[in-house]
Structure 1
Amino acid sequence: MDDKTRTEIEAAAFRRLQQHLMEDRPDVQNIDLMNLAGFCRNCLSRWMEEAAAERGVELSKEAAREAFYGMPYDDWKAQNQTEASPEKQAAFEKAFAENVGKDRG
């Protein structure tokens, strides 16, 4: 497989993951994704921001989140985010530190 085809396939798989998380399963909370898998929608938007920066393209945190979520992040949270239990919040703190790092977010 040539590099162009591989990149196109990877991009299509990413778009399908994005669709699944945003349209098919908006009920799955970011905190649950982070606690179970070590990443969430915000991580994916941050990875977009980082990939843009590596290529010299300016993409702010807010713009990356809006690009991933398909709307301003605060709007998505208001529509989809539920209150997390203290147990989930504690698990999140541990998962975030292990997977993202204390200095990122």
Structure 2
Amino acid sequence: MKKQITIAFAAAAMAFAAGPGTYTGVITDNMCDNADHKDMKMGTDAKCVVECVKGMNGKYVLYDAKAKKAYILSDQKTPEKFAAKKVTVTGTLDDAGKNLKVDKIEAAK
């Protein structure tokens, strides 16, 4: 039991010490979190993303196509101007690997 507790504390300390990282992907919504909006027939991908977030209580996410993973973003205001665009997000991923605490969002280079 002591060994398990020690390992848990060590893992937590490493995660905390790692600090913010950078994540690149496309800003989309959690209803179309693989960034594929062609079947929605709502016009542009950007319009579809914004409509799903505003009109259907969706959440903005960062979709990483390489990892095939979507991260729910803590900042739900800034992503609107980047809807359906490739961005780099600086932030800290939670322990579950699902939520990204956003420090900064900028257009990907």
Structure 2 length-normalised TM = 0.29
Higher gyration radius (CA): 2
Structure 1 length-normalised TM = 0.30
